[in-house]
Amino acid sequence: MKQKPDAIIIGAGLIGCAIAYELSKRGYKTLNIDKLPAAGFGSTSNSCAIVRFHYSTLDGARMAFENYFYWKDWQNYIGPVDDRGYAKFVECGFVIFRNNDPSEQNFINLFQQIGIAYEEWDLETLRQKFPIGDLHTFSPPRPIDDETFWADPTIPLTGGIYNPQGGYVNDPQLATYNLMQAAQNHGGEFLFNAEVVEVRKGNGRVTGITLSDGSQIDAPVVVNAAGPHSFLINRLAGVEEGMKVKTRALRREVHHVASPKKFNFNEQGFVFSDADCGIYFRPETGNNILVGSADPACDPKEWVNNPDVYQTELTDQLWKTQVYRLARRIPELEIPSKPSGIVSMYDVTNDWIPIYDQSDLPGFYLAIGTSGNQFKNAAGVGHLMASLIDAVEQGQNHDEDPVQVQMPYTGVVLNAGFYSRLRAHNTQSSHTVMG
Query: Which domains does the chain carry?
Result: 7-86+171-247+351-419 (3.50.50.60), 89-167+248-348 (3.30.9.10)
Is pTM beyond 0.85? Reply is yes
Can you give the pLDDT at residue 1? 67
Q: How many helices (H) and strands (E) does the chain have?
A: 10, 23
How far apart (Å, rounded) are the C-alpha atoms in residues 52 and 374? 10
The H or E element spanning position 109 is: helix 102-114
How far apart (Å, rounded) are the C-alpha atoms in residues 253 and 319? 8
Burial of 157 per CB tally in 10 Å (0-12, 13-18, 19+): buried
Q: What are the angstrom distances between the C-alpha of 326 and each of 289, 296, 304?
A: 10, 14, 27
Chunked mean pLDDT (size 10), the chain, 435 residues: 89 98 98 96 90 97 98 98 98 97 95 98 98 97 95 96 98 97 98 98 98 97 97 98 96 96 94 97 95 94 94 94 97 94 94 97 98 94 98 98 98 98 93 90
Q: How many CA atoms within 13 Å lie on the side-chain side of 399?
A: 11
Q: What are the angstrom distances between the C-alpha of 141 and each of 94, 98, 102, 301, 339?
A: 21, 14, 16, 15, 21
Burial of 315 per CB tally in 10 Å (0-12, 13-18, 19+): middle
Burial of 189 per CB tally in 10 Å (0-12, 13-18, 19+): middle
Buried b / exposed e along 317-343 (16+ C-beta atoms within 10 A): ebbbbbbbbbbbbbeebeeeeebebbb
Do residues 140 and 85 touch, judged by C-beta distance below 8 A? no
Secondary structure class of 274 (helix, strand, coil): strand
Closest by CA position to 410, among listed 383, 429, 428: 383
Closest by CA position to 357, among listed 424, 423, 429, 419: 419
Can you give the pLDDT at residue 371? 86
Q: What are the angstrom distances between the C-alpha of 171 and each of 86, 303, 336?
A: 9, 27, 25
Residues 6+ apart with CB under 8 A from 90: 167, 168, 169, 170, 283
DSSP single-letter state for residue 229: G
Can you give the pLDDT at residue 337? 87
Do residues 44 and 176 touch, judged by C-beta distance below 8 A? yes
